[in-house]
Amino acid sequence: MPILPTDRDPRLITLRRGGTLTDEHHRLLADWALRCAEHVLPLFEDQHPDDSRPRDALAVGRAWIRGEVPMKAAHDAAFQANAAARGRPDPVKLAALSAGQAVAVAHVAAHDLGAAAYAIRAVAAAGGSGTAERDWQRAQLPAAVRELVLDDQRRRSPICWNAFDD
């Protein structure tokens, strides 16, 4: 199931690509997505402590925010985190996919909700409260992008497994 809509919201497309998203807000969305993925990363690492691909991908995402790596490096790191998910039980797989989505925000800002939705699903698959995870995530939202993300969650929840429904 795709997590990106067919019709892209210009608020989640950077200015240089014809949208209205500033670089500052793009970095804020990336940081929030990375925090969502980092929050559930122990679900992966507790089961696979010798596989650093999701953690490495998150480090690349942080480096992208600081301007230390190009978007292409973040894009490649997303594939590595996603590869770490293959063949794993749901909580482990979903945590790795959250990391992949988080670092992919460098390429497409709208992947921020993918990181959040996969994290919520990872927690629920591990027997925790997806609602509590969603509420934790919302508490982490930077004020400058809070309304944008909350509006996007309302719009895209159906294609994100209804993870953001209240």
Contacts of 127 (CB under 8 A, 6+ apart): none
Q: What percent of the chain has pLDDT over 90?
A: 95
For the segment 45-76, what is each residue's pLDDT rounded down to a tens digit? Answer: 999 999 999 999 999 999 999 999 999 999 99
Q: Rounded to 5 degrees, what angle do the CA atoms 102, 117, 93 make?
A: 75
11 domain-assigned: no
What's the number of domains the chain is made of?
1
Residues 96 and 156: their CA atoms lie apart, in Å, by 21
Report d(CA 152, CA 159) in Å as an integer. Answer: 11
SS3 string, the chain, reads CCCCCCCCCHHHCEHHHCCCECHHHHHHHHHHHHHHHHHHHHHHHCCCCCCCHHHHHHHHHHHHHCCCCCHHHHHHHHHHHHHHHCCCCHHHHHHHHHHHHHHHCCCCHHHHHHHHHHHHHHHHHCCCCHHHHHHHHHHHCCHHHHHHHHHHHHHHHHHHCCCCCC
Strand partners, 21: 14
Q: Is residue 120 part of a domain?
A: yes
* Percent of the chain scoring above 70 in pLDDT: 99
Q: Is residue 165 included in any domain, yes or no?
A: no
Residues in the chain: 166
Per-residue confidence at 158, pLDDT binned at 50, 70, 90? very high
Its domain, for residue 43, covers: 17-160
In tens, the pLDDT along 105-123 reads 999 999 999 999 999 999 9
Cβ–Cβ < 8 Å for 91, 126 = yes
Question: Is 97 part of any domain?
Answer: yes
Question: Within a domain: residue 133?
Answer: yes
Q: Is the pLDDT of residue 166 over 90?
A: no
- The yes-or-no verdict on residue 100 having pLDDT over 70 is yes
Question: Within a domain: residue 6?
Answer: no
pLDDT recorded at residue 153:
97
In a domain, 4, yes or no: no
Q: Say if 47 falls within a structural domain.
A: yes
